[in-house]
A and B are shown apart, each in its own frame.
Chain A
């Protein structure tokens, strides 16, 4: 049974990157950028999640089939949020 063995150094580097991003997300939160605060927070979170998925969860070295299912979950969540928002963003009364 062969599967890719990631060198430990890679894990350490990814970890350090995650910590830096954590610092970044906290720091940015205290600077008033208006609407961009949310954009920054989500972007940093997405980058962190990508690092965990690709390296810690080995998706960078996984088959295409696995990658499709990794994507599927997040895509479906985007569907749920997106289509529900078509209601909430276009309400003229109530909400």
Chain B
């Protein structure tokens, strides 16, 4: 990836971060901080990795992406809008009656959303079904699933991890948004999931451990996942919850809390400055 590619992606991450804080403040509810931690991951996916065509959301050959941590919906909607699935103007209808932008994503309400999520733990299993379908049809599309790290508390994730490892489902890539927080506090205090790398390895997965805010590392990890045969790959992306907005960064009191209008102004200023710096 050239320097100008990276600069373009970085500009996109700024636009998307601004969308996220604006959308959630306009809605008066939602999860900006959990959306902000995975911005680099989804921006890289939607603009560099996924084989998709926003004008044909049901194209059978498309790669599939599932936002298993469904409360990151504002992030998903923003990258979808900025990719061309729908008009960015529609983003401000988030969580409003009759909007296809439900509080958590629903596939039957918005073309391009692959699974209805929000009940944590189900995305990886749904992704397994899609990956098996690709195998059966001898198609080469790939399936990507983003989970939270708190989400790993759910037993179903480990049922899925066991199954994908056992069946060597190598067209499946999981990304763990390791922002180290869950709703009630720090993951290490609520229910520690470390050592994560060893856990996934022992379930038969190829593990890539990266800084989830470093665009080059993120892209390299996806390239490596694509090249890995005979095993599913998990990318452990170490991130900061609320990344880019100081009042949200690493603040355990902001799960599911939007910024107040004055905080929003401050956040937008910070984001602009952060990119220039």
Do A and B pair up? The answer is no
